[in-house]
Amino acid sequence: MREAMEALSSERERLANFTRNALASENVRRATEKDVGELRERRKAVDAAKKEYDGVRQRYMKTTGGEEELRAAKLSFERARRDLLVALQRVNVAKHTRTKRCAVDLIDAQLDYFRRGVEILTRLSPTLDILRKDVAAAEAEGADLEAALNEEMEKLMARCDDEAQSTSDALSMVSDRAREMSAQMASSAAGYGSSQNEALMQGYLLKRSSGKIQDWKRRFFVLDARGSLTYTKSLSSNPRKALGGKLLSLGSMRNKSSNAPSTQTTGGGEVRETVSLLTATIKPDLDDDSNARFAFRIVSPEKTYYLRCESNAERSKWMEAITTAIASLLNSSVNETILAEHEASVNKYGSKHSRTMSSISSVSAYDGPPPLTVLGAVPGNGFCADCDMPEPDWASLNLGIMLCLQCSGVHRQLGVQVSKVRSATLDVRAWEPSVLEFFSRWGNAQSNARWEYEKAEVEAKKPNKNSSLESRKAFILSKYVAKAFCRREAQPTESQLLTAINSNSLPAVMDLLLKGPHIKMHWVMLTAACDCGDASIAILEALLHHNVDVNARENPYTEDTALHYAARRGRDAFAKVLLRRGADPRVLNGRGQTAFDVAVDVHGAIRDEDLLIMLSAAQDDD
C-alpha cells in the first residue's frame, strides 16, 4: 500500500507539472506573438507591393509601353496578397485548434493517471472523440481552404496572360465563355441554380466623371446573373464591405426597380445602379477621346458611362460580359411580354369565370416529346434562320422559324407586331400541340424560301454565326421589316387568301399572310380553315397569329362565331384551339345558343372529354 501511495504521489506531481506547462500563458503568448509578427511582415509586404503597383500603373496609363513592368508589379502585388491571406488563414486555424489540442493532451494525461478511476473518466470518452474530430476537421478544412485559396490566386494571377479577343468577337458572343454566361442568366431568370445573383464578372474599372472636371476614378464594378451592373464609390479599402458584405451574392444590393439609375447606401459606402442594361448598348470607343487606352462606353437613354480597363484582354472580357447580359435581358423580356399577351388573350373572361379558365388550363398541357426535339426535326430548323448558327433554341411564333440566342434578341427589338419570340426550352406552356403542328408544316426552310427569295442580295449581306450584333440587326431589319429580299408583288386580296385556305396549303397561306393582306372577313377565314382538311389546325394557328379575330361573327342574323361553327361541324380539335386562343364560350348566337348548346343539339352529346370540360365549365358559371 505504501509503495502504491508513493507511486501515486509521484504520478500526481508529474500530472501537476504537465498541467502547469500545458496551460501556461507564457507559451500561448509566445505563439501568439510569433503569429502576429508574421502577419505584420506579410502586411508590410502587401503595402509595399501595392505602392509599387499603383506607381507603375499610374506611369503606364500616362505613357505608352511599359506592359512588362506593369505585369511584373501586378504579379508581385498578387503574390504578396496571397501570402498574407494564407498567413491569416493559418493563424485563424491555429486560434481555433490550439486550445482544443491542449485539452486533448491534458485529458489523455488524466486518463493515464486515474487508472483506478476509469469508470468515472470513461464518461469523458465521447467528449474526447468530438474534440478529436473537431481538430481533425478544422485542420483538414484549413488545408482545403489554403489549397483553394492558392488555386484561386493562381487563376487570378494567370489572367494577365490571357489573349485579348478582337472587338467584333467580344460583341458577337461566339466564345464558350459567352455561352456559359448566357446559360447562367437563363437559369437565373428561370429560378434555377444555387444563387440567382451570382456574379458574372467583377473587378476594378476606371470611370470618367460626369462633372466639369472629367477625371478618371477607380471604381469596383459587379455584373450579376440577373443583368444588374453596379459599382461602389466607397473610400473603404474593402470592396466586400462597401458592397454590403457580398461580392458573389448581390441580392441585398440590387435595386428593385432596374428601369433607371438609382443610389443605395450601405455601411461601407455608396452603391449605385449604373445603368438599365435592357435599354442600353455598348460601344467599343469613347467617341470624343481617341487617346484613352482600353476604353469603351455604355450608352443608355438616361446616361452614357465611359469606362477604361487596364489591358485590352480585360476590356474584351467586360465588353463580352455586358453584351451577353444585354442579349439575355432582351430575351427574358420577350418571355415575359409574350406570356402576358397570351394570358390576356385567354383570360378575357377569366375574372368572372375562374372555373372555366382552370378547366381550359388543365386540358391544354402538352405531354409529348420535348418541344425542341419536335422543332429540330423540321427541315431547316437545325440552324438559325438568320445566321445559320447550329442548334437554335428560340423561335418566332408568328413567323414560324427557329432562332439562335443572338438573333432572337434582335427580333425582340422589332416588336411583337413583327416577331413574337419564345424559348423552345423555357417557355413550356407556349408549345401546345397546335403550335407544334404549325411549325412542323412550315419551318426555316420554307420561311427562307420566301423571305430570302433574292439569293444574290442575301448572300452579300447575310450574317454568320460569328457576326456582330450590328450586322445581325441590319440584316434582320432588311429581311423582315423592309422586306428587301422578298419577291416584289402586289398586296394580296382576301379572295386570294381564302383560295389558299381552301387549297389546304399552309405554305400558300403563310406566303400571303406575311405579305400583310387587309382582312375584313375574319369569320369566313376561320370557318374555311375549319373545313380545309389535315392542315386545318396549322392554318388556324397561322391566322390567329396574324390578328384574325377569334370571336368574329358570321352576320347580323345568325351571329355565329367560329366556335359555334366548329361545334356544329363536330370539329372538336379545332374548337379546343379556338378556346385556348381566347374564344369566348359564353357568346350567344342569333338563336340564343352557346357553342355548348349547338354541339348538344346537333350531335346529341360532346364526346371529346377535354372539349366537354371547356364548354360545360363556362355553361355552369353562367
Question: Cell 502585388 identifies what position?
Answer: 77
Q: What pLDDT score does 479 carry?
A: 93
- Dihedral over Cα of 301, 305, 306, 311: its sign: negative
- For residue range 285-333, list pLDDT tens digits in order: 776 656 778 899 887 766 788 899 988 888 888 988 888 887 777 665 4
How many whole angstroms separate alpha carbon 583 and alpha carbon 577? 9
Statement to judge: residues 287 and 206 lie in one domain:
yes
Are 26 and 150 in a shared domain?
Answer: yes
Closest CA to 274 of 322, 333, 316, 237: 322
d(CA 204, CA 308): 9
d(CA 462, CA 228): 32
The residue range of the domain holding 581 is: 494-621
Residue 367 lies in a domain: no
CA 190/CA 620 separation, integer angstroms:
36
pTM exceeding the 0.75 threshold for the entire prediction: no
Q: Which of 129, 161, 193 marks a domain boundary?
A: 161
525 and 564 share one domain:
yes
What is the rounded CA–CA span in Å between residue 394 and residue 407? 9
How far apart (Å, rounded) are the C-alpha atoms in residues 367 and 436? Answer: 12
Whole-angstrom Cα Rg for the chain? 35
Are residues 224 and 307 both part of a single domain? yes
527 & 462 share domain: no
Q: What is the pLDDT of residues 402-411, one digit of tens each?
A: 998 888 888 8
Residue 251 and residue 253: Cα distance in Å, rounded?
Answer: 5
Rounded to an integer, what distance in angstroms lies between the CA atom of residue 406 and that of residue 168? Answer: 14
Dihedral sign from CA coordinates of 581, 587, 591, 594: positive
> Based on the domain organization, do 13 and 81 belong to the same domain?
yes
Q: Do 122 and 199 lie in a common domain?
A: no
CB neighbours of residue 603 within 10 Å: 14
Considering the domain boundaries, does residue 147 fall inside one?
yes
Reference 410, options 333, 484, 485; nearest CA is 333
Number of folded domains that form the chain? 4
What pLDDT does residue 330 have? Answer: 64
Shared domain check, 212 and 269 = yes
Q: What are phi and psi of 487, to 5 degrees?
A: -70, 135
* DSSP letter (8 states) at residue 161: G
- What integer pLDDT is reported at residue 257 of this predicted model? 34
Looking up residue 550, the CATH number of its domain turns out to be: 1.25.40.20
Q: Side chain identity at 6, as an amino acid letter?
A: E
Predicted pLDDT of residue 430: 78
Give 160's DSSP letter.
G
> With a cut of 70, which residues of the chain have pLDDT below it?
1-11, 18-28, 113, 115-124, 156-174, 187, 189-197, 234-276, 279, 287-290, 301-302, 330-367, 426-428, 617-622
Residue from 410, 378, 374, 408 nearest 186 by CA: 408
